[in-house]
Structure 1
Amino acid sequence: MTPADLDRLTALRHALHRRPEISGEEKETAAHLAGLLRSMGADRVLTGIGGHGVAAVFESGVEGPVVGLRCELDALPITELGLSDHVSEIAGNGHLCGHDGHMVTVLAVGEALARTGPARGRAVLIFQPAEETGKGAVAYRADPQFADIAPDIVLSLHNLPGLPMGAVELCTGAANCASRGMAIRLFGKTAHAAAPQDGLSPAAAMAALMPRLAALGPGGPLDDRFALTTLTHARLGQATFGVSPGEGELWVTLRTVTDARMTELMAEAEALVQAEAAAAGLGVEIFYDDVFEACTNDPEAVELLKTACNDGAVPLRLTSTPQKFSEDFGQFGKGARAGMFWLGAGEDHPRLHNPDYDFPDALIPVAAGIFERALRAVLGHGPVNSQAAP
């Protein structure tokens, strides 16, 4: 990648950063990317996959494997507090997880493929919506269009503040924790605040449940028994002084390394809630959202990424410890050999989802190089396309 290429890609990343769209609302982002992919000379560009998803296909015309590179389209509903000249122009939204940088990285590989296509099989660039809610990968794979482009091998990345700038961490096996949001609604009966005995308040049950739910998942070593429960929201009645409340909500995030442990943790939490509600004479409803299954790296995909890092002299640390945060990329591993690597954004860089986070542009050529070397190792270098867009 030349300095001019990096300048152009950086300008594109900044343009995407200024116009962040949250999960399920990535219409403008998707249309912009589809136009770029068509202009660069992709053989096919598919849109509307699982919502606002996009895919670009680069064909060799020769039978062979299908290699996919996946990135995410969505931003976060967080107000950006950065001081850059490309700060978000959409109030309340911000690319504070680096998905703008991930998109541009995959576009950079697309430009390389447009110049020199694969020698065999096909390359598929996957631009997936709604990663932050855990709904995007499920919808993308369920879309009828996906069957025609389903990869045999699929690779992805996530930048990682706290890891040295430009260094890679790679894990075989469990790579990202499973998690899900558990919403608990308790129902009693309102009463006048002067006569609370005439109603049934869930206050005492909520107060009892908060520490008991936390005790179910104290954290600890990231092994098969790991469980972490995090209280994220509580609401009791309405904001008024005249009414003793008759209902309330607790939101808790459940987190485990394995899906099997998640099933156990859900059963434990539900039993605890049901018992407390019954003892207090309260009605109860439980539902789940933001559901992420565990993400597992395939050994063959890991070896491919490992070689790509070593061939590019990229600092690499192999680990057997998964990340605590969740990723819906694991869905792609249900039909393919999947591998995700983490690319260091700097040890002192603002953390993911911080209001002052910004993706480091210097990571674009590092990440694109890893992807391209891995892809070429499987598909090879085909003929040069003299008609490709610059």
Structure 2
Amino acid sequence: MSINQLTSFRQELHQSPEIAGEEEKTASKILSFISKLNPDEIIENLGGSGLAFIFKGKYPGPRTLFRAELDALPIQETGNPSYKSTVDGKAHLCGHDGHMTIICGLGEKIAEKRPEKGEVILLFQPAEETGEGARRIMDDPSYEKIKPDFAFALHNLPGFPLHQIVIRKGTFAAGSTGMTIRLTGKTSHAAHPDAGINPAFAIAQLIQTLPKFPDQLNGFALVTVIHSEIGSLAFGTSAGKGSLSLTIRAFDQEELDSLLEKIEKEVERVATHEGLKFEISYLEAFAVSKNDSNAAEIAETAVEDLGMDISQKAEPFRWSEDFGLFSQTCPSYLFGLGSGEKCPQLHEPTYDFPDELIETGVKVFEKIARKINS
């Protein structure tokens, strides 16, 4: 396909977004596109609606994986491109339509000139936005067929010059975890609160103390209170249950895990002291995205060879990416692709992936693949 045809394909994906857990039609479009390139093996229904395409070389060598995301966001698009989302309340407002198209363009290049050694894997992952997809992929028995020696991914970055490559060794993006604490006491009449056990005091204490826990760590960490609920709007009743939800993030995986452990112990201490039962649940867990030094050398040399504009990021990004789980299990590299200084930010209802980036992304990924598998 020409770049114009790839652009049309990206816009087709943009028109028909599917959110995490619902990506079957999107996967079908990807399957139709890449199956025509005659990969050596196709794995369907990987971790749900995920897909992997294997291109094998003539000789033994490294297995190199390139990942894109299938899912869109449950947000109404308010921009007005000619290819605007046709699905009410859902839109590709993070650029995953563009990321998928870049990997499809890479597939064309790999099919034209097969790898000489090893394997090139094109992975299309479901449920990135919820932090569930990478784990589902790795828990799938078929993952052994694609378990990589190197893994690469990119993410478009509004606020950076168009086509600029944003790089960083070590941590590229924070890990984060959503935590909900449910506390159960005893409901009583509001005139006799002493006859019940109200969780309000425990929740008030946790709201004040937990955000200060990162101060105990050496590196960056953050505890953000995002939601709290106590009892119900019944003025004659003293609450007997409540909940507190937090987002916990850090730049180091060990410090993130340590912070979660400290919070759990504090919840147990406070709940016990107040005579409350407690339950802790986790949602949207993202591992720290950490760039391996060897993978970084390969990718950054590729970008330099292409003569591209490079920006070295001084600090990691505070947002999280599900690719982090790959980086915790194999040599991996995540980099940014500038989508324009005036481009709307990710997840904004007017965001739209710049089609000019398709060719740039394909060039970088192909250069990396040739360096490893040629």
For the Cα contact (< 8 Å) 1:224–1:258, is it kept in 2? no
The alignment's TM-score, normalised by the length of structure 2, stands at 0.93
Query: 1:83 pairs with 72, 80, 84, which one?
Result: 80
- Number of matched pairs: 374
Rounded to whole Å, the distance in 2 between the matches of 1:120 and 1:375 is: 11
The letter of the residue matching 2:318 is K
Matches within 5 A, 1:131-170: 131-170=128-167
For the Cα contact (< 8 Å) 2:289–2:334, is it kept in 1? no
Report how far residue 194 of structure 1 moved.
Answer: 5.5
Rounded to whole Å, the distance in 1 between the matches of 2:355 and 2:238 is: 54
Rounded to whole Å, the distance in 1 between the matches of 2:77 and 2:235 is: 35
Report how far residue 218 of structure 1 moved.
Answer: 6.6
Q: RMSD of the TM alignment (CA)? A: 2.1
Report how far residue 192 of structure 1 moved.
Answer: 4.0
Report how far residue 291 of structure 1 moved.
Answer: 1.6
Report how far residue 288 of structure 1 moved.
Answer: 1.6
Instruction: Report the counterpart of residue 102 of structure 1 in structure 2.
Output: 99
Rounded to whole Å, the distance in 2 between the matches of 1:239 and 1:105 is: 51
SS at match of 2:181: strand
Structure 2 residue 229 is matched with structure 1 residue 244? no
For the Cα contact (< 8 Å) 1:224–1:257, is it kept in 2? no
Q: For residues 122-147 of structure 1, what are the alpha-carbon distances to aligned partners after superposition, in whole Å with 9 as ceiling and x for unaligned?
A: 21101111112222112212222121
Instruction: Report the counterpart of residue 276 of structure 1 in structure 2.
Output: 270
Cα distance change on mapping 1:243 and 1:77 into 2, 3 Å: farther
Rounded to whole Å, the distance in 1 between the matches of 2:147 and 2:274 is: 51
Cα distance change on mapping 1:86 and 1:189 into 2, 3 Å: farther
The letter of the residue matching 2:49 is H
Matches within 5 A, 1:221-236: 224-236=218-230
Matches within 5 A, 1:21-170: 21-170=18-167
Report how far residue 40 of structure 1 moved.
Answer: 2.8
Cα distance change on mapping 1:209 and 1:17 into 2, 3 Å: same
Rounded to whole Å, the distance in 2 between the matches of 1:98 and 1:77 is: 14
Instruction: Report the counterpart of residue 377 of structure 1 in structure 2.
Output: 371
Report how far residue 338 of structure 1 moved.
Answer: 0.9
Per mean C-alpha deviation after superposition, the further-off stretch among 205-214 and 118-127 is 205-214
Structure 2 residue 8 is matched with structure 1 residue 14? no
Per mean C-alpha deviation after superposition, the further-off stretch among 240-249 and 22-31 is 240-249
Rounded to whole Å, the distance in 2 between the matches of 1:210 and 1:293 is: 24
Rounded to whole Å, the distance in 1 between the matches of 2:186 and 2:346 is: 42
Q: For residues 93-131 of structure 1, what are the alpha-carbon distances to aligned partners after superposition, in whole Å with 9 as ceiling and x for unaligned?
A: 222211111000000011112222222222110111111
For the Cα contact (< 8 Å) 1:22–1:130, is it kept in 2? yes
Rounded to whole Å, the distance in 2 between the matches of 1:316 and 1:232 is: 36
State, as a whole percentage, how many aligned pairs show the same letter. Answer: 40
Q: Where does structure 2 lack aligned partners over 5 or more consecutive residues?
A: none
Report how far residue 336 of structure 1 moved.
Answer: 3.1
Query: 1:173 pairs with 155, 163, 170, which one?
Result: 170
Report how far residue 316 of structure 1 moved.
Answer: 0.6
SS at match of 1:76: coil
For the Cα contact (< 8 Å) 1:37–1:45, is it kept in 2? no
Rounded to whole Å, the distance in 1 between the matches of 2:113 and 2:101 is: 18
